[in-house]
Structure 1
Amino acid sequence: MHPILRWIFVGVALVIPSIGDAQEIAEDALQRARAELKRAVTDGEVAGAVHLVSRDSRTVYLEAAGVRDLGSRQPMTPDTIIRIYSMTKPVTSVAAMTLYEQGKFELDDPVSRYIPAFADAKVIDTSGDEVRLVSPRRPITVRDVMRHSTGYNYGGEKAKAAEYYEREQMRYRPPAGMLPPGMTIAEAAEALARIPAEHHPGERFTYGFNTDLLGRLIEVWSGQPFADYMQEAVLTPLDMVDTGFAVPDEKRDRFASCHTTRDGKLAVLDKAEASPFVDGFEFVSGGGGLVSTIRDYGNFCQMLVDGGEFNGRRILKEQTVRMMFTDQLQEAAGDFRFGLGFSISDAAIGTGESRRMVPQYGWGGYASTEFRLVPEKRMYQILVRQHIPYSNELANRLFGIVYTGVE
């Protein structure tokens, strides 16, 4: 909980008064965002959510509404621990870049230099009458891993190499694809090397097990278990005290259940106290394994907005952060923009004649969590909730409302 804020419960919502001089965004925009979040809860669109807005290193808005479990009716609060799934990916990418700054690797190094099994990697070719496995036109590089251009996906039914993912048991498991493969990330890296890629390295963006592979590379580069290095290099320096790959016993009463929609109504999909996420997994997923809180993730966002520094601690060099925010897909097919761990898009800021487009960086998570960074305005927004399948509709609405109040 933020120390300077006084929380007042009103029904299902947690309302925070204005913070005087710290208010950097038009109050009417924040009031409209507050009303929209309450409406989403009242109308049954979401069970519970928390929305945080920070500008100039200050929390200017923090709103919680609804419940973290439909059965117990416990309120959703800013200290609720949630599954952030793919919002783990940017954290893993930052951990990797701390090792880049130590000279442990170069971005265009072949992955096979560190995991030899990838020297025999293949690409699946379905263009002819028969399926063929061909050699890649060039080796898969670390840059490919970080920008999702390796050709590896998550092995869904529509994947060209689906049978290979099934054979290697490299798939997320029920319920609703919530649970990772049942193996270590070292074993997973070897398995992935035996699966043919969907396309040649660098050809296009293909979302998949790339950042899990990056977690294994971090183990090789650091000589430590991935979770240990993550804790040492990122979580501890950023005071991310409630973030990790499992939920400690003393914090389990703050862990949220995950919800879904059945027959048009909200329902519990993964009950907090019985969730496998409580104890964590053998598969320590750099792509989706962390649990966290909105406060902890706010510290991570603040470090990035501040160019790699947090509370006087230098996590990354400013030029490294700029590189991570630079589009790495210029030579790939399509117009999607992605850096080293972050999507790149444009946000409409302000209204009327003052409205203009500015770059924003971020990503989302499978349980419908989202964050956006706007370094030009020294601000970020985060929305956390726990709902599968993924939807960013509420986040886009709330973020867009807040942006109208930014000068």
Structure 2
Amino acid sequence: MIVRFLLCTAAVAGLAATAFAGQQPQSRPQPRPAPMPVPAAAVPAASLLPGTQALLDSYVRDGKMAGAVGAFGVGDLPTVFVSAGRLADGDAPAANPESLWRVYSMTKPVTAFAAMLLIEDGRLRLDQPVSDFFPGFAHMRVLTDPDHSLASRPAEHQITIRNLLTHTAGLGYNIITRGPLLQEYERQGILPGTLNRATEAQARRVRPATLQQFAERVSGLPLIAEPGTKWSYSIGLDVMGAVIERASGMPFDTFVQRRVFTPLAMRSSFWTVPQRDAGRLATNYAFAGATRTPLDPGATSVWLEPPSFPYGGAGLVMSARDYDSFLHMLQDGGRLNGVRIARADTVATMMSNLLPAGVTFAGIGGSTGGTQAPSQGFGAGGAVYLTDGPGGFPGRGTYGWGGAAGTIAFVDPAHHFRATFMANYMPADRYPVRAELAAALVRDAARLRQ
């Protein structure tokens, strides 16, 4: 979950793209470079991005994180991977592009893209009522004094697919909701996420056993705001997973596997990490004061066991290579390596501002999952730049989100640039990684232009 969208270094997308492509900076987007039949692993990151490599090395050397991996791509040129450190403190495997990381809310764009595929198929409509799939949502109620009671009034509008995708449904979220509604969410197990085995054992005592039961239980709870009137971070993408199940006629995770992961050859994306891949899973750390301690050790991680159901808002474990493939597909308008999985207009819609009329997105703190930058809207599952940054970079239409354990991802379609950063530590905003990473990329880009 991003503190901000790397806006603080306005020229990152354009300068890095220019450097990687070996071109001079331009004020307008340039044609996408022709594909090159060179494997990503063949590009020596240390020679192309020495400043970025040095930054990641410093994070490990200074004890800020055990390991980290970055993936940076321009057009269809080979992705540049930068790695440092290990998957855990001590004698653990080195971090690399195939290492597995908890991406938490970077799951949301994947779930949103799955929904967009069903819209393309004609099985969903963007402004279709959710009650078409779960009748209980037809008669929602809105809290009248959310800080102090569960008193409510009938909602004037129904929740739509658009509302779920853009966090404008009026739903809450246990990571930000407060007061009586939070207590009710906790009592009824509206807890679609996990930290480690200890917290998971407690959550399972009250959490619904299936995704369908989860959505049905949510439909009986009051809203924090009238649907379509306010942006508020929510469980909307988790409810979206349940809608995807009913609209597609198959389990949510099966749909994502068949329509997204398999055609994109994303072989390292899991809601449950197979035991054979446990050695690739990083340890997630938490800070208590200045002390960094294991929160969820990779070798015994809760992600090695099936969740109650696949959490569409925060449930995936992925490699840097896989997330780069997902962004690369978005960058190329629904196509990757000769395989088209979505129409270009479907991807363009997903990465456009889909907020209902009159609703704005002002950003959200990095420890909970969002961005803070001027002139943003919100697309399906992620924030969207509404204007170019200073100097034209990042470009209008830049789209992305991040994760609670320090992961970052965005794609700038105008400049055919994409970036992924993987690390696992909490809280995600403990260090200014976004700003420092972007600054390092700018310095490397300037060096390559010399």
TM-score (normalised: structure 2): 0.79
Contact 1:110 1:142 in 2 (8 A): yes
Question: Which sits farther off after the overlay, 165-174 or 241-250?
Answer: 165-174
Contact 2:103 2:314 in 1 (8 A): yes
Corresponding letter in the other structure for 2:184:
Y
User: What's 2:45 paired with?
Assistant: 16
User: What's 2:185 paired with?
Assistant: 165
Question: Which sits farther off after the overlay, 174-183 or 57-66?
Answer: 174-183
Q: Unaligned regions of 5+ residues in structure 2, if any?
A: 1-37, 363-375
Secondary structure of 2:303's partner?
A: coil
Contact 1:308 1:317 in 2 (8 A): yes
Q: What is the CA-CA distance between 1:277 and the residue it aligns to?
A: 0.5
* Shift in alpha-carbon separation, 1:117–1:263, aligned structure 2, 3 A: same
User: What's 1:377 paired with?
Assistant: 415
Secondary structure of 2:421's partner?
A: strand
Query: Where does 1:7-406 land on structure 2 (aligned, <5 Å)?
Result: 16-18=45-47, 30-126=49-145, 131-156=150-175, 158-159=178-179, 161-171=181-191, 172=193, 175=196, 179=200, 182=207, 183-329=209-355, 330-335=357-362, 336-345=376-385, 356-359=393-396, 360-391=398-429, 393-403=432-442, 405=445
Contact 1:215 1:286 in 2 (8 A): yes
Corresponding letter in the other structure for 1:31:
P
Corresponding letter in the other structure for 2:60:
V
String of CA shifts for 1:51-102, please: whole Å, max 9, x gaps: 1110121235311111111143332111111111111111111111111111
Contact 2:40 2:80 in 1 (8 A): no
The count of aligned residue pairs is 386
* Shift in alpha-carbon separation, 1:160–1:403, aligned structure 2, 3 A: farther
TM-score (normalised: structure 1): 0.87
Q: What is the CA-CA distance between 1:257 and the residue it aligns to?
A: 1.1
User: What's 1:24 paired with?
Assistant: none
Q: What is the CA-CA distance between 1:265 and the residue it aligns to?
A: 2.4
CA–CA distance in structure 2, aligned partners of residues 177 and 146 of structure 1: 31
Contact 1:240 1:296 in 2 (8 A): yes
* Shift in alpha-carbon separation, 1:366–1:130, aligned structure 2, 3 A: closer
* Shift in alpha-carbon separation, 1:98–1:333, aligned structure 2, 3 A: closer
Higher fraction of strand? 1
User: What's 2:20 paired with?
Assistant: none
Corresponding letter in the other structure for 1:397:
E
Higher RCO (CA 8 Å, separation ≥ 6 residues): 2
Contact 2:67 2:423 in 1 (8 A): yes
* Shift in alpha-carbon separation, 1:61–1:278, aligned structure 2, 3 A: same
Contact 2:53 2:84 in 1 (8 A): no
Contact 1:160 1:198 in 2 (8 A): no
Secondary structure of 1:277's partner?
A: helix
Secondary structure of 2:137's partner?
A: helix
Secondary structure of 2:294's partner?
A: strand
Secondary structure of 1:98's partner?
A: helix
Q: Unaligned regions of 5+ residues in structure 1, if any?
A: 8-14, 19-26
Corresponding letter in the other structure for 1:94:
F
Q: What is the CA-CA distance between 1:107 and the residue it aligns to?
A: 0.9
* Shift in alpha-carbon separation, 1:134–1:176, aligned structure 2, 3 A: farther
CA–CA distance in structure 2, aligned partners of residues 31 and 17 of structure 1: 5
